[in-house]
Structure 1
Amino acid sequence: MSENPDPAPVVRRVLAAKALRCLADGFVSLLLPVYLLQLGFGPVQVGLVATGTLLGSGVLTLAVGLQSWRFNFRTWLLASAALMAATGIGFAVVTDFWPLLLIAIVGTLNPSAGDVSVFLPLEQALLAQVVEHRRRTAQMARYSLVGTLAAAVGSLAAALPTLAAGRLGMSETAALQGMFVLYALLALAAGAVYRGLPAAPVADAPAPRGSLQAARKRVYLLAALFSLDAFGGGFVVQSLVALWLYQRFDLAIATAGAIFFWTGVLTAMSYLVAARIADRFGLLNTMVFSHLPSSVCLLLIPFMDTIGPVLVLLFIRSALSQMDVPTRSSYVMSIVPPAERAAAASVTAVPRSLAAAASPMLAGYLLGISPFGWAFIAGGVAKIVYDLLLLGTFRNVRPPEEEATITRKAS
């Protein structure tokens, strides 16, 4: 058996590519509804495009995860970066609704503040392969932290089209199209980073299989529960929250960008806290008991008549709602055999696209008929039900390292 190489270079490249991708997602998630409205489309059509992106990402993620054993991670990531670049160019040059919807379905566009894409399970499985299990949760937190901070900076970049239109004399539509070109360039930069990954980062890693076997029942049950959470989250993707703020409070896109920058910073900081809490109270408890109060905040938002209390609730939610992201990733990776991690990551990540695909369309419809914010109510209720079901179903399923800690304390 050959000696495994230092995992640090692999981790650095994954984090660098993650930052580039999330930087692009940060401004696109805010500019997408503005661009579509600029082209003459309504809230329902904006919701349809958001649904198309999530639906397409889900199908692609599942297909890649189940077939990941055919090629190495580097090949899959390079192909995904090429698709991301093509998506940006497509949105920059196409202005008709149905072709745009088609590009949204087959491409990598992300209307959410979180990372919802084919890249996610590939990168998570790669990190789980090269990082020791005792450092896995902390590394997943770092992975999420980098992506969220980059997305927060990207939110600030959403103000660039307004500046370009005012100072360079460009039309607003042309300035927005330029941002999709920037999205494509960032994809190419991420591809250049992926190109430096080794074909086989761990010498003695077990060969991935084509499908789930030992962990099939457990992973499918998790996927079903995650799908409920994703369905609730689809009602409040960042693009549609920005649209609601614009409709309800006439909020400028530059102001929205600043707001989502700070929500992103709060979310990023929560990842570091989540890793420490998980070490003390366990992964599942951290997932559930940080998520529940954030869902209550969603329920309260529509009842606020002024922007101030809305922002307070958004900030509280941002500080809590994503603490389950690194812990969930670590939990899934720790309760399945190493050879099934790529498939498990895909099957449990797909609900963040597939199950969430219907709700943005419904949220767009609700925004079209009422400015109250019914989408927040629907999302909050679905997420609370998910938390309770997850806790009740998996309270006795612990990662091996947590079981070992409990055994030591008991003895």
Structure 2
Amino acid sequence: MIDRIMTNLIVLYILVILAMIVTGSESSNTRDAEINRLMKKLNKPFLKSIKSPDGDIIDCVHMKNHPIYDHPLFKNHTIQMRPTSYPEGWSNKDSDNEKHNMVPQLWTINGKCPKNSIPIRRTRKEDILRAKSIERFGKKDPNNIHQHKRPTNPTNDGVHEYAILKVEVNSPRAMFYGTQTFINVWKPYVQHTKEFSLAQIWMSAGSYSTQLETIEAGWQVLTALYNDTNPRYFVYWTNDSYIQHGCYNTICPGFVVVNQAFALGAAVPEVSIRDGLQYEIFTSIWKDRSSGNWWLRFGTHVIVGYWPSLLFNRLRIGATEVEWGGEIVNLKENNQHTSTQMGSGSFAINGYRKASYFRNIFVTDENNITRQPVGPSTFVSEESCYDIRYRTEQAWGSFFYYGGPGRSPFCN
């Protein structure tokens, strides 16, 4: 009797294991199929493929296959190739000042995209596998607390920490229609693959609890997305508080790239050195008063593309808040603060060639007039880990130093 019971138990155990293997196999097959569908959607047919010295593959995609056409609102969209208006006093021509012009991206050493095509960084299967889920690939987590308050119930996605300067409208009819600034570029240490460190501009309208809308641009180190530790150009947008809609670069349809020599997600070719040469990106975002679209320019002459106004409800009218500064994600591994650096990894008090900075900060108001921000305020989420110091002077106008090393004897 005992032998028979043992035999039956063994048979039952084997059947359970086999069922688990079959179920797991089916689940794996389903996941592989979903990944393949996403890769096919993201990696458009290309006219030419260029291998970058840093390992990136850049596909030159014809404008007729532009990712924007995957968005249901833009099936019949007419792509605007150039802005039709600029804020008062802004140049609409290529700059003769070589100091502020952009260094060509590394991939352009090995070729250039043909006419009527745009460069798109190829997505690989391993890129998607590094994401928390297929659905969240290329997206910021919803706990990206834009109102900059420490969450009372942080999730496994980590805590977002900031050192920022911000300015808000001072009357119900006031709006912001643009901003421009120089963003200092560094290569901060990032402790965990799923953490990041970035420097960026935010232009926003609404609130986190009532459908926050943002457009964002700058540089970031994010290994989970790019599989390396290089600072990379990026854009982002959301129209629902980061919950479902919006993404980095062109991972979902939204931002309309028009430049055939500039790939979003490509590495910034030159970074600053402590006590040495400093590199910076002149970054401009503005609302085209004719089309309503929000345009982005890196450098004084590289017009990258635009966020169509139809993506938004509030930003279709204008922005009510502008922010500049740094952000990191802190996963608190082993219940310790991350050692991920912000900016250069040095505190603001260390100043030029040590701390990271934003300089010559301007905003464009509802009258299309560009001026220094009035009544800006600073915010730091964890002052013992990262900080910010804002000042004004003749040469740099409105500027600030910011950043920090993360975990230390004072930051734990």
TM-score range, shorter chain: under 0.3
So what's the TM-score if we normalise by structure 2? Answer: 0.25
The structure in which a higher percent of residues are strand is 2
Structure scoring higher RCO (CA < 8 A, sep ≥ 6) equals 1
So what's the TM-score if we normalise by structure 1? Answer: 0.25
